Amino acid sequence: MSTHPLPTCKAIARTAATAAVATGAVAMSTLATPTASADALSGNLWNLYNSQHVSAGCPGYTMSQVLGDTAGDIAHTLANPPGGIAGNGRTPTDGMLANRGYYVTSWGEADYVNNSGNATPQDAINFWLANPTKEIFPNCNNHDLGTAVWIQNGKWVAVALTGTGGGTPPAPPEQPH
């Protein structure tokens, strides 16, 4: 593993850190919020993800509201295509975090989409461990974790964001003279 966490995480993000699986057919719904069970499932996902991180020899994560809120926004978007997330010149997640004042020095993202609507947090963990996203679990440079589960439109979506804040905000754009 690299001693330079940000390039490693960017490389992971570019290659396949954002992974998704699609199975089954999409059912249409007018729901605007996830089902009530999604909050409990997100907590279960957080515990399972943290357990994998600790099993890899890293200290346990700290729960991050900013990462959790961002994970929720991403999960909502994944459940409701063709929505998009504008990155404004950055990776979309990095931009979303920066907009919330969380400037990363290291981060990772794992996404899971099941179009049958029948999935569990363990299914998401198993998928992530079977794909390049498995490289996020043993990254001890990431100290914070936020998770979200969103169930809507016949889709079961899970997102886990790990990171370490404390990065430098980008310089403001130069003003024309």
Q: Over the stretch 105-151, which tens digit does the pLDDT of each residue have?
A: 888 999 999 998 889 999 999 999 999 999 999 999 999 999 999 99
User: Which pTM was predicted?
Assistant: 0.71
Nearest to 159 by CA among 62, 8, 42, 25: 42
Residue predicted with more confidence, 102 or 146:
146
pLDDT digits (tens, 9 = 90+) for 80-89: 876 555 444 4
- For 136, counting Cβ atoms within 10 Å of its Cβ (0-12 exposed, 13-18 middle, 19+ buried), the class is buried
Please give the single-letter amino acid code of residue 67.
Answer: L
Distance CA(128)–CA(118), nearest Å, equals 17
- Identity of the residue numbered 111: D
35 in helix, strand or coil? coil
Checking if the pLDDT of 13 tops 50, the result is no
Query: Which segment of 146-150, 152-156, 157-161 scores lowest on mean pLDDT?
Result: 152-156
Mean pLDDT across 25-43: 47
- Domain boundaries, given as residue ranges, for the chain: 34-165
Please tell me the distance from the alpha carbon of residue 104 to that of residue 162, in angstroms, as a whole number. 10
Fold of 34-165: Pathogenesis-related Protein p14a (3.40.33)
Which one of 71-75, 141-145, 150-154 scores highest in mean pLDDT?
Answer: 141-145
Of 126 and 1, more confident:
126
The Cα 133–Cα 160 span in angstroms is 10
